């Protein structure tokens, strides 16, 4: 599984894990993510450049963002900020976006109730540099899925095409609906000043 941070990679990986095994995932109460599960038993996840990890796997599911949707990458960045960086007060990871600030300055930003426009702009700029966040890597090993499918569509049916199963998918479909509802709790249009 290769994805930009905040683009629902753990969620997508959880769907795949549920399709290939008896494992069942649950969204966590904080932010509606899937981060209560540290590591999935059969699905590896990475934010690394896809060209650096493609040869390490038989295939990769790649989450693709829509570069033409001006809200999608900022939404991903906000999700990453609230569900990961702010959740764990991860100043080391946060410094990637503000390399000129020290730990105390970063903590002051994290103490604010909402993500600042400067931080959101820095995050969007940083993640915009990864070409394969926005297009399928040219390899037969890649199984592409769009973020729009994960958040607004039927990702279970999309992934069943590649991971067939005959088991009852009701519980998995309920998890998906709950995740999709929770992910959308931050109205990105109100946060956007770009």
Q: What is the pLDDT of residues 71-101, one digit of tens each?
A: 899 999 998 998 889 988 999 999 999 999 9
pLDDT higher than 80, residue 33? no
Residue bearing the bigger pLDDT, 32 or 11 = 11
Q: Do 43 and 166 meet the contact criterion of CB atoms below 8 Å apart?
A: no
Pairing mode of beta strands 142-146, 60-64:
parallel
Whole-angstrom distance, CA of residue 9 vs CA of residue 1: 7
What is the residue extent of each domain of the chain? 9-191
Question: Is the Cα dihedral 176, 181, 185, 189 positive or negative?
Answer: positive
State how far the Cα of 70 lies from the Cα of 85, in Å rounded to an integer: 22
pLDDT per position as a tens digit, 15-32: 999 999 999 888 877 666
pTM: 0.90
């Amino acid at each position: 599984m290769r994805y930009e941070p905040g683009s629902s990679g753990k969620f997508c990986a959880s769907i795949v894990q549920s399709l290939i095994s008896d494992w069942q995932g649950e969204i966590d109460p904080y932010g509606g993510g899937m981060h209560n599960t540290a590591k999935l038993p059969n699905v590896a996840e990475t934010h690394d450049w896809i060209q650096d990890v493609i040869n390490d796997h038989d295939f990769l599911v790649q989450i693709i963002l829509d570069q033409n949707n001006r809200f999608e990458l900022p939404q991903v960045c906000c999700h990453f900020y609230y569900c990961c960086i702010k959740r764990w007060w991860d100043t080391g990871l946060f410094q990637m976006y503000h390399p000129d600030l020290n730990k105390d300055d970063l903590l002051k930003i994290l103490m604010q109730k909402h993500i600042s426009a400067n931080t959101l702009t820095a995050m969007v700029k940083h993640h915009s540099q990864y070409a394969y966040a926005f297009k399928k890597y040219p390899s037969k090993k890649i199984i592409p899925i769009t973020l729009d499918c994960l958040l607004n569509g039927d990702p279970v049916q999309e992934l069943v095409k590649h991971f067939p199963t005959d088991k009852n998918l009701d519980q998995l479909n309920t998890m998906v609906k709950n995740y999709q509802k929770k992910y959308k709790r931050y109205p990105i249009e109100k946060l956007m000043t770009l």
